[in-house]
Structure formats: structure tokens, C-alpha cells
Structure 1
Amino acid sequence: MWFGVGERNCERFTRSLGRVITVEDRAKISVLINTLNEEKNLPHALRSVKPWADEIIVVDMYSTDRTVEIAQEFGAKVFLHERVVEFEIARKLAIEKASNDWMFFLDADELVPFPLARCLLQIAHEDAVDVVRVPRLNYLIGAAMQYSGWGPNQDKQYRLFRRGKLGVRANMHDHIEVFPGAKVHELSFPSDGAIIHFSYLDFEHFIAKLNRYTNVHALQAAKTGEHPHIVKALFKATRKFLAYYLLRKGYRDGWRGIYLALLMFFYEIATFAKLTQLRLVGDREDIQNMYAKEAERYLSEYVEC
């Protein structure tokens, strides 16, 4: 058994929770987690929800490490989903498999601190709202970000919700859809707590994810028929830099703030560069086929000799 998730720890949490609501009366919540090779992060996420989650659903995309084994050790229900570019689309399966009306999205590199858990359970128990936006405290290269658009009161996520009040769509940057008529409540940091997000280990990690995200973003733009334009790219990139560094006070995050703003500038440039490639030339396979034809053209000279 993993340290911190035994019966004694669950009982300790339950006794503390009882100061707010009785265990018998509290609403049941299913925690939904997507995974792909998350053996290093997943134990922290699961330890933070095991004491209070009535059900843990893990949707795994055929991990090749110990992710599935770890999830099962924590008593999670594991379901497999094909690997998809739009990673968030797998959340649909998690919603379908959940048994409870209340659900909570959690990423494998996140955890729920004790005060936030109590707040979420209280909200579900009071049953007065349908969807809750939760602050997220993001860590970047060893430190928590307070500004730069990544501060806990700047980055708020739709995470706790009632069945039928929130959906998921295949859009990387706008994947959550709150259904009409849903009552939305927004938490504040530090009074209500925040999800802890251990985001990026180093710049290599950041750039690797940036590369993957810009691939998805460019592909989505190409599918919608968006046309690349260098002036538009420079305008959007500059606007994003100014938004992160000045408007969202990235300068108060020191060197992390300036580099984050610069990388977000590059994000827009990389996205437009990839969109230009897709629209004017094609994807990697198209270019590989083009090179094969070019190679044959050069090699045909040997046949003529």
C-alpha cells in the first residue's frame, strides 16, 4: 500500500470532514484522470484524492510504463482509450464510465490539497450549483507562478461538475463546454485553495510539450480552413507576449516570467509556421513522398548512364 493512503489516513480525513458535514450525508464524487506514461506523477495525484473520492476513474492511452499498475494499486477503475492527438477527448469516456452524478477532472501531474478537498465536498453537499471553476497553482521549473497568466487567480479551470451540466469537445484550448442553464460557481485563492499543478520540469520539457501542442493547434486551424499570414502571426505573437509579460504581470515572476512570455510568443510563430507548411506543402508523410520522388529523379541519371 502506498504511504499516505491507508485506512488510518482515510479515517483521519473523514473525522476532519465531519466537522463540516457527516460522512453519511456527503455527496459522492467520481474523480476522472487521463493518463499516458505517468508513473512518476500519478501516485501524488491518487494519494490526494484516495481519502475522499468515492470512485476513481483512470482512462489510460496504452501506457508503456507502470501507470496502469499504479492506478490499480490505488483501487482505480482503469479503462483503455486509443491514443489521440486531442488528448482531452478521452475525458468523454471517463464521464461515461463514472457512477456518480458529481465528477471532478484531475490531471496526472496535479494534486488536490486538503483544504480544497473539503471545499469541493462542501459544495457538492450543498447542491446549490452545477459547475465549479477551481484555481490552479502552476509550478514552472521548480517554483510556483503567481502571475504571468499562470497565477492561481488567473488560471481557473472548470473541474467539479454535475452530470449533464458540462461536456467535452475536441478543441485543445477550448475543450470544456458548460451547457446552457448550468449554475457556475467560481472559487478564489487562497481562501478556497487551489489545484497544485507540477507543470514543467525544465525548458526541454516545456519546449517538447510546446511542440506537441502547436502540432495540434496547427492541425485544427488547417481543418477549419484558416489561412496563414506572416503579419497576422507577428501580431498575435506580439500581443501574446505583451499579455503574459505586462497585462498579466509576468515581470513579477522574475526570469521565469520573461522566458514564459517569450516562449508563448514563439508558440504563435511555431503554430503559424506549421499551418503554412500544412496548407502549402502538406504533412510529414506528404513531404517524405515528395522527397522519394525527388530522389528517384536524381537517381534516374544513373540508369541513363
Structure 2
Amino acid sequence: MAKISVIINTWNEEENIKRCLESVRRIANEIIVVDMYSKDRTTAIAKKLGAKVFFYKYMSYADPAKNFAFRQAQGDWILSLDADEEIPPILAKMLQDLAQDSKDLAYFRIPRKNIIFGKWIKHSRWWPDYVIRFFKKGAVRWSEKIHSVPLTRGEGRDLEAKEVNAIVHHHYQSISQYLERMNRYTGIQAEELIKTGYKFRWQDMLRKPMGEFLSRFFVGEAYKDGLHGLVLALLQAFSEMIKYIKVWEKEKFIEQDISSYHEVLEENINDYLHWQVKVSGLIGKIRLKIKKKI
């Protein structure tokens, strides 16, 4: 019978770790917590609930610690989770069955239900938010880069994008939490951008955030999530801007000629108007169809 190892990477997760652990206890043959020297009660809670605890040097993101965590696992299959995630009972039973029946498959991509500022975000590219989290040992490894796509071996499959199949992700619970993580992540992303040979261009500081906003709000239909969708689209655009400003900071705030700023702003306005007209036309057509049916 195939065994399942649950892997959870942590740092200061005392508010989340119990919920996460309790959601997987029935299907886990072992639970491994790899902690980056938390300053709170994370490891004490994990040990009390029966998890094996290992330690990894502190880093401002968990990706480098994942491969170390996988090497500690003894199971045939690995379920990799973040501490702010949980596995609902129906999904837990499904994963248990898949571990026994999926001889020809090496991994599964699982949809994720992101709860942000107290609401399930169903648009803005936050759903189905597929993640590779259930896989045979040795079939998946993580890159050292932040939020990178895992490297896989063998064939995989997507679970259907339904709520009952989704990992529940208790994501950003406050604006302060978003901004704190944004500050950490944008610093890392700026460093990675510099390593590619990128040199700061002030135009990117305007174009990239607008592109992110348009992609989230219009293409990703964030407007369907109401005020939550608008705020998230703006915050993610702001994150994109900060990333580029931090590259400028690394270049010692060297001055650049911005005399053509009006052209870049006009370009951004035109892009916005294009999508506004497109979405307004689509909404108008939908309303017309509904009116005709009525």
C-alpha cells in the first residue's frame, strides 16, 4: 500500500500550523515540518501534533528549503503544503485513492481556492491557480528562484477545477500582511532581474505596472470580484512598480531623462481605454441577451 508523506515548510506560522496539520492527519503516514528557525511556537505546536521537525537556514522565501524537505520523506507519495493551506476532507480522500491507483502518473496539479481579505477570489488569475503539490517521491524538484514553476519527471494530470477538489489557501488576511510580503518578495525579484543583466529603464516603471493591472482587472476579469478584485489588481500593479524601483535603488538612484513621460503615460491611457471599451461592450451584449430572454 502506497504511503503518503506530508511536507510543510514554515517560518513563524503558529496561527496557521495547527489547522494545516489537522487537515492531513487522517491520510498522512508521516508529517514532516521543515522550519526556518521560527521565533514563535510553530515547532512546539507541530511536535505536539506528531510531526517530525527539521530545521533549515532562514531565507525570506521557502523554495530553496523544499528540496531539502523532500529528501527527508520516507513515503511513496509527497503532499507538499504551505502552513496557511489546508486539505478539505473530500480532497484528502481523493488524494489517498490516487496514491493507490495512479501507477502511470507521477504528479497532480491541484486547484487552489485563495481566500484573500476574507473572500474567495474567483477571478484576476487567482482561480483555478493550479499548483503541483501531490507527486511521487523523486518526480518533482523546486528551483532556487522565488515562486518558480517546479521541475517535473513523468506524466501528470490536472484535477478538475471544482471547489471540492481545491486546496484552501488562507492567503493575505490584511493589507499590512500583503505589504510586508511584498517588500520581501520584490527585493528578491529585483535581485533576480539584475542577475539576468537587466538595466533599469524608467519607462518600465510605468509600463509594467499598467500591464499588470490591465492583465488582472480586464483580461483576468478582476472586476467580477468587486472591490476585492479592484484592490488586488492595484496592489499587484504596485508590487510590479516597486520591483523596478528597487532595481533603480541598486543602481544608486542614477538620474535618467524622463522628458518623454507624456508619451508613455498616453500609451498607458490608450491601453486602458482599449480594454475599457472592450469590456463595456461585452457587458452590454450580456445585458442585452438577458433583457431579450426576460
Is TM > 0.5 for Structure 1 vs Structure 2? yes
Question: Hey, what's the Cα distance between the residues in 2 that align with 1:193 and 1:175?
Answer: 21
Number of residues of Structure 1 aligned to a counterpart in Structure 2: 253
Q: Indicate conservation of the 8 Å contact 2:88/2:164, yes or no.
A: no
Residue matched to 1:11: none
Residue matched to 2:135: 161
Residue 255 of structure 1: how far off its partner (Å): 0.5
Task: Say whether 1:227 aligns with 2:199.
Answer: yes
SS at match of 1:150: coil
Residue matched to 1:266: 238
Q: Indicate conservation of the 8 Å contact 1:32/1:106, yes or no.
A: yes
Residue matched to 1:254: 226
Structure 2, gaps ≥5 residues long: 255-294
Residue 40 of structure 1: how far off its partner (Å): 0.7
Residue 85 of structure 1: how far off its partner (Å): 3.1
TM-score w.r.t. structure 2 length? Answer: 0.83
The one of 157, 168, 183 equivalent to 1:196 is 168
- 1:77-96 aligned at under 5 Å gives the runs 77-96=52-71
Residue matched to 1:171: 145
Q: Which amino acid aligns with 2:194?
A: A
CA root-mean-square deviation: 1.5
Residue 105 of structure 1: how far off its partner (Å): 0.8
Residue matched to 1:243: 215
The one of 118, 138, 146 equivalent to 1:142 is 118
Q: Indicate conservation of the 8 Å contact 2:90/2:164, yes or no.
A: yes
Residue 232 of structure 1: how far off its partner (Å): 2.4
Residue 118 of structure 1: how far off its partner (Å): 1.3
SS at match of 1:260: helix
Q: Which runs of 4+ in 1 moved over 4 A?
A: none
Q: Which amino acid aligns with 1:31?
A: V
Residue deviations 1:69-95, cap 9 Å, x none? 111011111001110134211111111
Q: Which amino acid aligns with 1:201?
A: Q
Q: Indicate conservation of the 8 Å contact 2:6/2:28, yes or no.
A: yes
The one of 271, 276, 280 equivalent to 2:252 is 280
Residue matched to 2:6: 31
Question: Hey, what's the Cα distance between the residues in 2 that align with 1:117 and 1:248?
Answer: 29
Residue 57 of structure 1: how far off its partner (Å): 0.7
Question: Hey, what's the Cα distance between the residues in 1 that align with 2:61 and 2:9?
Answer: 12
Residue deviations 1:166-204, cap 9 Å, x none? 11111113151123xx10100123275100011111111
Residue matched to 1:213: 185
Residue 31 of structure 1: how far off its partner (Å): 0.6
Question: Hey, what's the Cα distance between the residues in 2 that align with 1:245 and 1:252?
Answer: 9
Question: Hey, what's the Cα distance between the residues in 2 that align with 1:167 and 1:273?
Answer: 32
Q: Indicate conservation of the 8 Å contact 1:38/1:67, yes or no.
A: yes
Question: Hey, what's the Cα distance between the residues in 1 that align with 2:185 and 2:194?
Answer: 14
Q: Indicate conservation of the 8 Å contact 1:86/1:171, yes or no.
A: no
- 1:98-109 aligned at under 5 Å gives the runs 98-109=73-84
Residue matched to 2:292: none
Q: Indicate conservation of the 8 Å contact 1:30/1:56, yes or no.
A: yes
Question: Hey, what's the Cα distance between the residues in 1 that align with 2:14 and 2:49?
Answer: 13
Residue deviations 1:11-46, cap 9 Å, x none? xxxxxxxxxxxxxx4x21111101111111000000
Question: Hey, what's the Cα distance between the residues in 2 that align with 1:129 and 1:74?
Answer: 31
Could you say if the C-alpha distance between residues 140 and 171 of structure 1 is closer, same or farther in structure 2, counting changes exceeding 3 Å?
same
Q: Which amino acid aligns with 1:135?
A: P
The percentage of aligned residue pairs carrying the same residue is 36
Structure 1, gaps ≥5 residues long: 1-24, 283-305
Residue 109 of structure 1: how far off its partner (Å): 0.4
Question: Hey, what's the Cα distance between the residues in 1 that align with 2:7 and 2:251?
Answer: 37
